[in-house]
Amino acid sequence: MFDPKFRPKLHPIPRLTQALVLAPVAAGILGTVLPSLGWMPVIGARDWTLAPWRLLFALPGLERAVLTSLTVGFLSTALALILVIGLLALARDTLWLSAARRTMALLLAMPHAAVALGLAFLLSSSGWVARMVSPWATGWVLPPDWPTIQDPWGFAMVAALLVKESAFLLLMALAVESSLDSVRSGALARSLGHAPGEAWLRTVLPRLYPRLRLPVYAVLAYGLSTVEVALVLGPTTPPPLSVLVTREFLDPDLSRRLPAAAGALLQLGLVVGGIGLWALGERILVRLARPWLSAGPRGRDAPALRLAARLGPALVLPLGLGGLVGMGLWSVTGQWRWPDALPRTLSTTTWSRQADALAWPLANSLSLGLAVALFALLLSLGCLEAERRSGRRPGRVVDWLVYAPLLVPQVGFLFGVQILLLAVRLDGTWIGVAWSHLLFVLPYVFLTLAGPYRRLDPRHATVAACLGAGPLRVFLVIVLPLLARPILAALAVGFAVGLGLYLPTILVGAGHWPTLTTEAVALASGANRRIIGVYAILQAALPLAAFALAVALPAWMYRDRAGMGDPWR
């Protein structure tokens, strides 16, 4: 909003940020395309050939793997979106929404791997749910033989993604909705005779969805390509495409890298095609819904809809929370015999025995998580302050660029990134891992901060400048303190996201930098449930602590400032 000629330029920061994010993504994709065509001099492959693709399609179970990925991606995204829409439209004035909102914030803080492990605790055939209903209801004296998790269709994965992504989408939707004056437009539609649910669907949703589109695409991209959720809950023979490709990449036989690169591109195509298909579906739905938008009121919301809106969260919330409680319980379990509903004895032995083994991954999780979140915050602040000073309208292009690492599947470019880092000798280093984390942390930090930053009343800065304050003083004394809440929230979000990263840590770190997440996923197949519980609960507890601090700290700092009320409400 400022006359540009008076403002010190901050150009380098947005440029640097884009370079830090886009260069690895672009180089990563290139570093995947070339090997898929037979060009990978490091391992002596210099023939341009389609052989890697033939090898890929010869992999047993490939079609099945692709099908599983598609099922999981589309089903989890559609269900999460429906759940969020139902909750906002039809559970508006109920306690459900406020309860769901709080719980969902809790679930949002937990890494995907922790949610998946929690669900495995609950749902596995010898898990908590089976124990609670056995043998009196099921007649099972031994854990049943059929698969409840790692089911061949990937439904367990869908459940875990549904828990995580509906939390993400709900909070994103609430943030957008707060700027839409939804209460008044809903009230107006109701005064014209529309039932509350239909009023929301007709007046708010059409304005809300366009701004929810990018998060939805990110959710779809993640569901189509997740590795860590698949490793914990997904089918194994064959696994979803992402895991199949990762396996090939990690094969000691380096020549397998070539079909792996082809597989990574197939995964990329799956995500790009999937998003395209989703966008097409959006258009068709919009066209079909057009007449309905202006149709007259019908009086009541369909009872089935109302029921579904309550049923969805009633199923999802216990899954997420039950998993969290289950993990905690198992980590302090002494003896827990099948089919007892609760452990017979409790003990802290697991914790004390694991203390030594925990120290190194914990230290890595903390150092990477904090440093990367802080760096991402500085870059985001620099970009947003540059934008404010230049008076440029926030461009959608910027947002898309920032979203790039979330829309491109991790397996689609991380292998190429590995090669890039090899070239600059950063592979296997802390800096290299931190950089790879930054790609995924920065988008969330930026997006958490961008809304509040852009909504800041420009007159505050004008008044401060007219009182004689230069740009730096305005930034330090006015802008930063006014944004204390979103800044701390962005830090917490960045920390939580970084903590949950699996594939970048494994691939770029080359095993040198184990974190709580990589250890927990590694333990998931087979190890002692108590130990998994310890890792999983820590993984969930750290981001929760960060979020608690991000809420408590500004509340305490501004305890005597009524005008600094919680902007999230």
Partner 1 sequence: MALILDDLTVLLGGGPLFAPLSLTVEAGEVVTLMGPSGVGKSTLLALLTGTLDRAFTPRGRVTLEGRDLADLPPERRGIGILFQDDMLFPHLTLAENLAFGVPRGEGGGEGGGNRQAARWTKVEAALAEAGLAGQGSRDPATLSGGQRARAALMRTLLSQPRAVLLDEPFSKLDATARARIRAFVLDHVTARGLPTLLVTHDPEDAHGRVVTLDPPSIPPDEY
The nearest distance, CB 485 to partner 1, in angstroms, is: 11
Q: Are 73 and 66 in contact (CB under 8 A)?
A: no
Cβ atoms within 10 A of the Cβ of 459, count?
A: 10
Interacting span for partner 1 (CB under 8 A) from 10-18, 215-223, 243-251, 556-564 = 556-564
What is the dihedral angle through the alpha carbons of 240, 241, 245, 250, rounded to the nearest 10 degrees?
-10
DSSP state of 476: I
> What whole-number distance in Å separates Cα of residue 267 and Cα of residue 273?
10
What mask, x for binding partner 1 by CB under 8 A, covers residues 422 to 461?
-----------------------------------xxxxx
The nearest distance, CB 466 to partner 1, in angstroms, is: 5
Cβ atoms within 10 A of the Cβ of 43, count?
A: 13
- CA geometry: angle 384, 389, 392, nearest 5 deg: 75
Interacting span for partner 1 (CB under 8 A) from 143-151, 373-381, 415-423, 475-483 = 475-483
Length of the chain: 569
Nearer to partner 1 (CB atom), residue 456 or residue 541: 456
The nearest distance, CB 560 to partner 1, in angstroms, is: 5
Interacting span for partner 1 (CB under 8 A) from 313-321, 334-342, 509-517, 559-567 = 559-567
18, 94, 185, 390: which one binds partner 1 (CB under 8 A): 390
298, 392, 454, 455: which one binds partner 1 (CB under 8 A): 392
Question: Among residue numbers 79 through 108, which ones bind partner 1 (CB under 8 A)?
Answer: none
Nearer to partner 1 (CB atom), residue 244 or residue 487: 487
Nearer to partner 1 (CB atom), residue 343 or residue 481: 481
**What is the residue whose two structure tokens read 């875990």?**
160
Amino acid at 445: V
Nearer to partner 1 (CB atom), residue 288 or residue 562: 562
Contact between 395 and partner 1 by CB under 8 A: the answer reads no
The sign of the CA dihedral 187, 190, 196, 199 is negative
CA end-to-end span of the chain: 26
> What whole-number distance in Å separates Cα of residue 262 and Cα of residue 550?
43
151: left (phi over 0), alpha (psi -120 to 50) or beta: beta
132, 374, 422, 465: which one binds partner 1 (CB under 8 A): 465
The nearest distance, CB 464 to partner 1, in angstroms, is: 7
* Dihedrals phi, psi of 451, to nearest 5 degrees: -55, -60
The nearest distance, CB 40 to partner 1, in angstroms, is: 48
- Report how far apart, in Å, the C-alpha atoms of 482 and of each of 298, 334, 456, 554 are: 46, 49, 8, 10
The nearest distance, CB 565 to partner 1, in angstroms, is: 8
Contact between 3 and partner 1 by CB under 8 A: the answer reads yes
Residue 528 CA, chain-centre distance (Å), reads 27
2, 39, 209, 351: which one binds partner 1 (CB under 8 A): 2
What mask, x for binding partner 1 by CB under 8 A, covers residues 477 to 506?
xx--xx-x----------------------
Q: Tell me the number of residues near partner 1 by CB under 8 A.
A: 33
- Report how far apart, in Å, the C-alpha atoms of 308 and of each of 89, 95, 155 are: 11, 16, 19
Contact between 563 and partner 1 by CB under 8 A: the answer reads yes
Contact between 9 and partner 1 by CB under 8 A: the answer reads no
Contact between 464 and partner 1 by CB under 8 A: the answer reads yes
Nearer to partner 1 (CB atom), residue 58 or residue 466: 466
The sign of the CA dihedral 49, 51, 53, 54 is positive
> What whole-number distance in Å separates Cα of residue 357 and Cα of residue 353?
8
138, 213, 561, 566: which one binds partner 1 (CB under 8 A): 561
* Chain positions contacting partner 1, by CB under 8 A: 1-4, 6, 390-392, 457-470, 477-478, 481-482, 484, 558, 560-564
